Amino acid sequence: MAEQAQTRELNGTEKAAVFLRSIGESEASEVLKHMNPKEVQKVGQAMAVLTNVSREEVQGVLDSFITTVEEQTGLGIGSQDYVRNMLVGALGEDKAGSILDRILSGGNTTGLEQLKWMDARGIYEVIKLEHPQIIAIVSSFLDPDQAAQVLGLFPERDQANILLRIATLEGVQPSALTELNEILEKQFSGSSSGQVASVGGLKTAADILNFVEGTVQASIMETVKETEPDLGQNIEDLMFVFENLIDVDDRGFQTLMREIQTDQLQLALKGADDALKEKFLSNMSQRAAEMMRDDLEAMGPVRVSDVEAAQKEILVAARTLSDKGEIMLGGGSGDDFL
């Protein structure tokens, strides 16, 4: 067992957990203050469950951290360029682009950031009586999975309307941000600059819909297509579902699988078609693939909601890797991998 612990390959979250546990409680607390709610939960969970960490693993993580710090520094370059490069490197072009204008123009989204620490029910209670356009703006600022949970709390008759508004939202004028201030009882700085904050759009609507529960998702899409057929088709074209993973190349698959827990993958594959199942198995070692086949055959009935939840978690990992440029969703390789 000791030898196995020394040679295992830690993923990014596990490395962060090892690092934080090695620097002490007070220092770790200071680091966690700079993380968003999802990151805190993910790293905190890893810190709680990670056991049998060898001295070699700790040393490897610390060496990697020191190397990264030595190779990457903001000294000698413009602060705006540094912030831009840092965000693009961490979040990818799409996500970084949605917040760069607000950061670099001196904007402040403190009120909206506070919403990200609330649960879906709390956010819903804050915005449920507001105009659908305001609800769309707030939803566009949230992370897609969080926005999907909030959307699911609205009456079915309102869900498609909100999603349509998100899809057609091209920017937020200062007057709209002022109205948002009143909802959140916060003040935004820089709203008088006249700059339009880039939020919403087809991609945001598709990302949110990806996290909506299956039957609700189908109902919303049906209503959207009845109201705006072309818009509905455009949203559907941008959605990425679990079955689309079959188009990821083998290198990307192997990268993705390093971020997936075995029990999570087993549950997700319970509801996968044979082709996708074989794609996953073919990118495992022969022994691991045989064990997975045996476990799947011996697995009893499971709830559809549990399978969908496991698949969505894997999709989150895939999108994160895609945003970082480590895998390519939709297949292919070539010049994107050097």
Mean of the per-residue pLDDT values of the chain: 74
The pLDDT of 217-242, averaged and rounded, is 82
pLDDT single digits (tens) 148-161: 889 989 998 899 88
- Compute the distance between CA of residue 141 and CA of residue 76 in angstroms, rounded to an integer: 33
Same domain, 234 and 246: no
Which of 318, 325, 68 is CA-nearest to residue 207? 318
Question: Which residue type does 45 have?
Answer: Q
Same domain, 17 and 135: no
pLDDT single digits (tens) 188-223: 333 333 344 455 678 778 888 877 777 778 888 888
- The three-state secondary structure class of 172 is strand
- Examine the fold and report which residue of 22, 49, 71 is the final residue of a domain before the chain moves on: 71
Residue pair 112/197 in contact by the 8 Å Cβ criterion: no
Same domain, 30 and 115: no
336 pLDDT exceeds 50?
no
Tell me if the pTM is above 0.75.
Answer: no
Which of 203, 210, 147, 131 is CA-nearest to residue 170? 203
CATH of residue 246: 1.10.220.30
Backbone angles phi, psi at 169, to 5 degrees: -80, 115
| pLDDT given at position 176 | 60
Extract the tokens encoding 128: 């449920």
Same domain, 210 and 314: no
Same domain, 255 and 326: yes
Which of 82, 124, 105, 310 is CA-nearest to residue 195? 105
Q: Within 72-168, where are the H helices?
A: 79-104, 110-115, 120-127, 132-141, 144-153, 156-167
Backbone angles phi, psi at 197, to 5 degrees: -80, 130
- Examine the fold and report which residue of 192, 211, 238 is the final residue of a domain before the chain moves on: 238
pLDDT single digits (tens) 20-77: 888 777 777 777 777 776 677 777 777 777 777 788 888 888 777 777 765 655 444 4
pLDDT single digits (tens) 139-190: 888 888 888 889 989 998 899 889 988 888 776 665 665 566 566 654 333 3
| pLDDT given at position 154 | 93
| pLDDT given at position 39 | 76
334 pLDDT exceeds 50?
no
Beta-carbon-side half-sphere exposure of residue 160 (alpha carbons within 13 Å): 17
Same domain, 254 and 151: no
Counted domains in the chain: 4
CATH of residue 55: 1.10.220
> What is the residue whose two structure tokens read 């075995």?
262
| pLDDT given at position 191 | 38
- Examine the fold and report which residue of 238, 269, 291 is the final residue of a domain before the chain moves on: 238
What percentage of the chain exceeds 70 in pLDDT?
A: 71
Same domain, 264 and 151: no
Residue 100 structural domain:
77-104
Residue pair 28/21 in contact by the 8 Å Cβ criterion: yes
| pLDDT given at position 189 | 36
pLDDT single digits (tens) 253-312: 889 988 888 888 999 998 888 889 998 999 888 888 899 999 888 888 888 888 888 888
Same domain, 200 and 162: yes
